[in-house]
Amino acid sequence: MSTITATETSAPLPAPATRPDYRVTGRRVLRSEWAKLWSLRSTWITLGLGLVFLVAFGLIAAAQYKSRIDSGHHMDPDFARSTAVSLSLFGTNFAQLALGVLGVLVTAGEYSTGMIRSTLAAVPRRLPVLWSKSAVFGLVSLAVSTVGVFVAFVFASGIVSGTGAAMTLSHPGVVRSLLGAGLYLGLVGVIGAALGALLRSVAGGISVLVGALMLVPGLISLLPSSWQDDISPYLPSNAGESMFALTHDSTTLAPAAGLVVFLGWTVLALAGAAYRLVRSDA
């Protein structure tokens, strides 16, 4: 009599599920900052204001110039020498405040809400966060500003057509001036983001930004004239204006020199923000 022994064959165990790769990469940090930027209502509002300031004030300046020319009213000598470029860029001073303030909010806003702790927990190396925030907002500011200055110029040049200020895109230096204005405003946005990360305070960052761009040039005018000539061209606002000015004299920097100086201020602000981000806790 034979005995048959039945052996049970166990089913193969399922392979363990592979976990997705969650490595922190530069592209992922950029995508994260891009998503955070556009998720804020203040981004849409402030960028819209910056665009409105650029176009609206440029058109108002051009219409005012045309009205005074047609009516024969006396004009200030500086205003009488205006060109379609300078008139269309009249709103640059107002747009720089909107973009600079938004840049401060992009970084300092996370410190005020406490979100920065989650951000730095996800990106422990820290510096990629600063580079990504600055790059994303700088490029957005550059794109919005460049579109705004070209739109303002097209309409402003149409308004002042037939006057001494009339110019077209084919005139020498016009395209360079418009691109320089867009680049200047883009770098202002980067400086705002750097100041927000450096000071970690919305109020403090905005105060320093406004002081550097608008108040310091007025204070420098109180110094002796010999000092003004040596200091004034290298101030952030004056160096930035030389980037998109159509004409230059002995008291202003050339466009290339102005770009180098303004880039230097931008790098200085970013370096200060990077040093504090690495050395100090959130």
Cβ contact 127:216 at 8 Å: no
**Domain range annotation of the chain:** 26-279
Residue 282 is predicted with a pLDDT of 65
Position 12 scores a pLDDT of 58
Show the tokens assigned to 154: 């097209």
Residue-level pLDDT at 125 = 85
Please give the chain's pLDDT, 282 residues, in tens.
444 444 444 555 555 555 555 677 878 888 999 999 998 888 999 999 999 999 999 999 999 988 888 787 777 777 778 889 999 999 999 999 999 999 999 999 998 888 888 888 888 888 999 999 999 999 999 999 999 999 999 999 999 888 888 888 999 999 999 999 999 999 999 999 999 999 999 999 999 999 999 898 888 888 888 788 888 899 999 999 999 998 888 788 999 999 999 999 999 999 999 999 998 876
Rounded Cα gap, residues 126 and 69, in angstroms? 56
pTM of structure: 0.88
pLDDT on residue 281: 76
Distance between the two ends of the chain, CA-based, in angstroms?
82
Q: How far apart are CA 142 and CA 147, in angstroms?
A: 9
Count how many residues are written for the chain: 282
pLDDT confidence of residue 1? 42
Among residues 266, 245, 261, 108, the alpha carbon closest in space to that of 187 is found at 266
Spatial CA neighbour of 121 closest among 228, 32, 47: 32
pLDDT score at 140: 96
